[in-house]
Structure 1
């Protein structure tokens, strides 16, 4: 029983410490919060290639959830998708591949065409090369789908941080 009381006391103390350090949720206010409203006001330009299609869909899934009223920003993304072989056997056959997806993205404010955010995101995945060519191609496709989702998550998180920083910097009316 005393162990339970000690845990509750620790939890209360830690909660007080977190509020003292000014920790605030990124999406405070839910769909009516500042960050959610800015995310909902972003238009995503088409992105070239299969990786672009997957990344754009992942971005749309996340940004359209906030349902903005009007388009105030445009997001442009350029991708670099590479597969490199490594893990070579003595007979020069590749046993492992690394698929890398890198994105350079810019958030442009439409009112004055100013680039307000210019950043990069990226991720990579290892792929086993097996004797079945179909299995290897399926693994490469699955890796690309996962990488596109990870890169989209990184982009949305960075834009969310930008939105919060911009809201904190602007004076309240």
Structure 2
């Protein structure tokens, strides 16, 4: 009986906790509709290409109509040597991808969201130059996905809190 009472009390307290599903309503919900109104401006470089594609994969497709927002991104992609042997050869690298992004309202040109996203990954430097380059590229692909996820989540939160248009 005590367990049942505890389960009922927990179930009744959940609506008051402040947690709400972000993507309620699925593809026809307000967040998905708002994200469909975001266009991604081209970003230069290989990392820009990867991040742009990752963002386009995560944003819902627009069915006609014009975009309400433009996402402008500036990337900083760096590789830093960490582990160094006595003969000054690097044995470990850290690849860092940082994005400064702005969500611009196309109605008035105002920047409504200005934020950063980023992540880093470790890369082992091995005897094969090909293997090292392949590991660096794989790390960049993973980092691009992580940064795109962070950007879409932050934009979705902005759209949820933004006044109705």
Q: Which one of the candidate residues 105, 108, 111 is aligned to 2:107?
A: 111
- Distance in 1 separating the partners of 2:137 and 2:61: 26
RMSD over equivalenced CA pairs, Å: 2.0
Q: Which one of the candidate residues 70, 77, 80 is aligned to 1:74?
A: 70
Question: 2:32 touches 2:60 (CA, 8 Å); kept in 1?
Answer: no
Task: Note the C-alpha offset of 1:9.
Answer: 5.9
The alignment partner of 2:60 has SS state of helix
**Which residue of structure 2 aligns with residue 46 of structure 1?**
42
Instruction: Output aligned runs, 1:1-173, within 5 Å.
Output: 6=3, 11-65=7-61, 69-167=65-163, 170=164
User: Cα–Cα, structure 1 residues 96 and 67, in superposed 2: closer, same or farther, change >3 Å?
Assistant: farther
Gaps of at least 5 residues in structure 1 are none
- Distance in 2 separating the partners of 1:120 and 1:68: 30
Q: How many residues align?
A: 165
Question: 1:38 touches 1:68 (CA, 8 Å); kept in 2?
Answer: no
Task: Note the C-alpha offset of 1:10.
Answer: 5.0
Gaps of at least 5 residues in structure 2 are none
> Which digits, 9 at most, give the CA deviation of each residue in 1:84-124, with x for residues without a partner?
00111122111100000000000011111111001000000
- Distance in 2 separating the partners of 1:154 and 1:48: 19
- Distance in 1 separating the partners of 2:95 and 2:47: 11
- TM-score, normalised to structure 2, is 0.91
- Distance in 2 separating the partners of 1:163 and 1:130: 45
- Distance in 1 separating the partners of 2:86 and 2:5: 61
